[in-house]
Structures are given as C-alpha cells and as structure tokens.
Amino acid sequence: MASLLTDVFYRVLSVSAMATVLVLLIFLVRWLLKNQLKPRWTYWLWMLLAVRLLLPWTPESSFSVFNLIPLETNETSTASHRAALENEPAAESKPASEAAAPLQPTEPVVQPPWSGLTGSMPETKSFPWMPFVSVVWLIGAVTMLGYILAVNMRFSMKIKKEPPVTDPKVKSVFEQCIQEMKVKRQVALIESNQASTPMLAGVVRPKLLMPGYALNTLNDSQLRYVFLHELSHVKRNDIAANWLMNVLLALHWFNPLLWYAYRKMREDQEIACDSLALTRIGPDESRDYAAAIIKLLEAFASQVRLAGVASISGNKKELKRRIIMITSLKNNSYKMSLLGLAVILIISGCALTNAKSAGNAGAGNENAQNEAPAQTDIPVQDEDEVQESNPSSDFAIRANGKLISLKDFDNQIRLAEILGEPISENTETLGDGADTHTGSQIKTLTYDGLQLTLFSADQDQYWVMKMDVAGGEYATAKGVQIGDTVEEIQKLYPDIEIAKDGRTDPNNCAYEIRNDEESNYLSFEVKDGIVEHISVYHLIP
C-alpha cells in the first residue's frame, strides 16, 4: 500500500511539474500576444491546463517542450516495468552460444530497458523519505478536498430556502435575457441576502442569486446587462470547469503557481463572459455595460470565491483591463479566431505531449547497428559505455532500475553502485569436502529485502551464483515482485510449472523456471496465491 501511494505521489509530482511548465508557457504567450487574442481563446488556454492535470500519461512527440526541459516522471512502477519488458526487441538478447558458457562473465549491467524513457524517476530507495512525504501529500489532498466540499455545501444550504424573485418586471427582463442567450437549461432567479454580488450558483440546477440592493437600485437596462453576464456562465458551463479545477488543485495543493494560475483563469473567465454578453447588445451600449459593471464592483466590495459559484468580480487592476476590452471589442473575429486556434494547437503539441524516448529516437541507430557485420573478437568497450546483460533472460533480478544476472562478475556490473553498501557481508572458504572447488570462496551480501550469494574460484573475482528476494523493492527480469499473484506469474511466464516437491496446491507451492543445460533456475514461493519469496540461482556442477 505504501509503495502504491509513493508511486501515485511520484506521478502527481510529475504532472504538477509539467503543468508548471505549461503555466509558464501560457503566461509567455499572453505576454507576447498581449491583446491580440480574443477573450474566449485566452480563457481556453487555461482549459489546456485542466487537460494537462487530468492526463497522467500523454503521447510522445518530437515537438514536445519536454525534449528541451527534461522532467523526472515516475515510470518505474511495476506495470511500467512489465510493459517495457514485454516490448523489448528479441534482437537485443545475446546469442545462445554466449549464454551457454557456464562461468563466463556477462556484459556490465547498468542500463535497464526503460532507461531511455524520458525522465525516469529515481527509485524509492534513493529517497527513503518519500513514503512519509507521500502520506503528508495524501493528508493535505484529503483535507483540501474536504474543505472545498464543506464550504460549498454550507453555502448551498444557506441559499436553499431563499425566495424566488416575484417582481414581474424583473422576471420579464430575465426571461428575455434567457431567450437572447438561448439558454435551454432551467435557471431560477433568486433574491438572496447571502449573495454579496449577483452570482450564479449550482452545476445541475443553476440559480442566479440577486442581492436585494441590486434589484432595488439597478434599472432595467443594467439588470439586463447583469443577467446577460451571469447567463453567459451558464452557456459556457463555467461552474463545472471551476469544480474540476478545484478538485485538481486539491491534488496539487503544494504547487503555488497552479493556485495563481487558477486565479488568473477566473479573471479571464469573467472577461470571456463579458465578451459573450456584449455579442447580445448593440455596440453603442458597451459603455453602459461597462458602467453597470463598475457600479456593481464599487457597491459590493466583498466577493465570494467558491468552486460552485460564478460572480461578477475583479480588483481595480482587473477592472481596468475589463473596461478596455469592453469598450474596444470589435467583431473582426475571423483572423483573431484563426490566431487563437493556432495558439491552442501549438501549445497543445508542445506541452500536452511527453518527450520523445531515447528508445524511439534511436530506432534508426539500432537498425544500423543490427546490420553491421558480426565480429568474432570481443569488442573493445569504453569504460563509460554501458550495455545490458541478457535483457531477455529469465534468470535475473532488477534492482534500482538495473539488471543483475546470474554469473555476472560483481566488479564488472558495479554491484556497489547498484545496491549500495550491504547490511552485512560474510565470506566462507570451501574446505576439502568441496572436491574440485576446495579453496574457493562464497561471499554472502545481505541487503534490505535481498540476499546475494557470490562465488569465486580464484579468490579474486566473484560472480553471482544466487539471488534471494524477500522484499517488494526488487523484481524479476519480467517484473514479478513480492506480493504479486499467481495469475501475474503465469501471465508473464506462460511455461512456468509447479515445482516437483510434493506440493500440489497451486496457491501454496513453489513455481519454477528451469534451464538444466546451463544449471540456471528461477523459483517463486507462493502462499495463499501471493508471491512470498523469489530465488534465482545457478548450480555449480
């Protein structure tokens, strides 16, 4: 459970980082284009942010901005391991003749098959505090979501018994505005003392809340402007968008830039509603519309900022921007619409895609390498060059994103770099009873959840003879971990068989993969259908 929570938090961090880049990109575009974008297109830029926060995985693209800004993402979950392994090209595996040499060293193991994926996140072992931080994040997300729901429900209860507007003159203006805006949904007109300014509340059954002061002081024309503005929120489904953003922000409560972006989104939302409302009135009325907005904002200083509410709001700086837009709005929208669409498409291609993985980007190079003539001599390899050892082998363990295979020499695969310092280390010298192996040494390295047994015939180089896994951090070459089910084993190893040790219960036995020719074996100890122990070992003749 803790591992799953940490994986989820890694994914949230990844999405939050990518969303941060998108927000900065949106601000850059807004600054470059200034007032060239129509209000609705400016607002739609923020909908790209909602899409980015909604999608934990997005397609790869060579046009992605993340090719230039490598961000870390959590691609090391069990499912990702398995997907990467199942898609590994068979051509990468070594020839059988090389694998058959019983005591020959393999190539250095430092590059997992998914290491080319953009920004693979470090394993939990590299960040031992991440489980605790994940719990803090979950508590914060639940608290934030609970607070959002509580304040909105409390406000809904307060306005539930508010009376409808009964003035026939006001109702007539309201019905006329509904027809002008072509709103097909039922919208109730309520006189409310809870509303500090005219506002729309509710997603399923929207209510237009009008303070008594506004009903008594605004003339028919000003009421019409207010109604057109608030009905624009209904037409554009703004309250649903606000709810969505609030839920997403609850998950990303730790990112202040996203909260600031949401504030700017709400401001652009109001301007987009102004723009839509202005399409229903004559050009000569735009200044009167602006005057009505100013009058409302001056009269009602306190404003409600809730997910389930959309109201006429704005500070002095934002008011100035709105007035400029209102009084200068023109209907030469064809070119502006094309510009807005182009901006949306470009930003989507850049920020709603992931960086091209190294595996895909280097496909041409791999093909060229495959066509190169075979060499009979052992190739000279630079010290920094890394290759994976037998990626298709069943007899290997993945640790911290690296593959450790049977018969790998510890110094060649840089075992200390992969696993760090062991909890304990024990070396035993074989006595006369070991026959031809007398004088050889067996070294046992114990880590948290993993024990390695190494063999050395010359007391110089040790190679991996056995690996025992008891913790969920490690996995087999195909991705099976402690805690997986029998069904998952059988899916990844279709030819696996129950070990012939007398046990026949498929949920309480040992499953094994055997290679008797090379004396290599992979065993899964299963209890109640769950993997409790994994052993990969080589029997020395």
Residue that the structure tokens 């390695």 belong to? 452
Residue 524's nearest CA partner among 113, 516, 491 is 491
Binning pLDDT at 50, 70 and 90, where does residue 375 land?
very low
Q: What is the spatial distance between Cα 105 and Cα 100, in angstroms, rounded to a whole number? A: 11
- Give the 3-state secondary structure of residue 213: helix
Structure confidence by residue, pLDDT tens digits, 452-505:
898 888 767 888 889 999 886 789 988 899 988 999 989 989 889 899 888 889
Structure confidence by residue, pLDDT tens digits, 97-121:
333 333 334 333 333 333 333 333 4
Q: Mean of the pLDDT values across residues 311-330?
A: 63
Alpha helices by DSSP H, 160-183: 168-181
Question: Tell me, what's the pLDDT at 468?
Answer: 93
Mean pLDDT of the chain: 77
Question: Tell me, what's the pLDDT at 274?
Answer: 85
Residue 411's nearest CA partner among 464, 368, 348 is 464
- Give the 3-state secondary structure of residue 219: coil
Tell me which of 337 and 328 has the higher pLDDT: 337
The one-letter code for the residue type at 468 is D
β partners of residue 476: 397
Buried b (16+ CB within 10 A) or exposed e, 399-437: bbbbbbbbbbbbebbebeebbeebeeeeeeebeeeeeee
Residue 52's nearest CA partner among 308, 340, 265 is 265
Residue 449's nearest CA partner among 472, 426, 467 is 472
Question: Tell me, what's the pLDDT at 244?
Answer: 94
Residue that the structure tokens 């803090």 belong to? 136
CA distances from 234 to 41, 159, 227, 313 (A): 18, 18, 11, 16
Instruction: Give the best-scoring range by mean pLDDT among 125-134, 309-318, 337-346.
Output: 337-346
Q: What is the pTM of this model?
A: 0.58
- Give the 3-state secondary structure of residue 456: strand
CB 59 within 8 A of CB 349: no
Token code pair at residue 390 = 């037998």
Question: Tell me, what's the pLDDT at 81?
Answer: 41
Structure confidence by residue, pLDDT tens digits, 204-256:
889 999 888 888 888 888 899 899 999 999 999 999 999 999 999 999 999 99
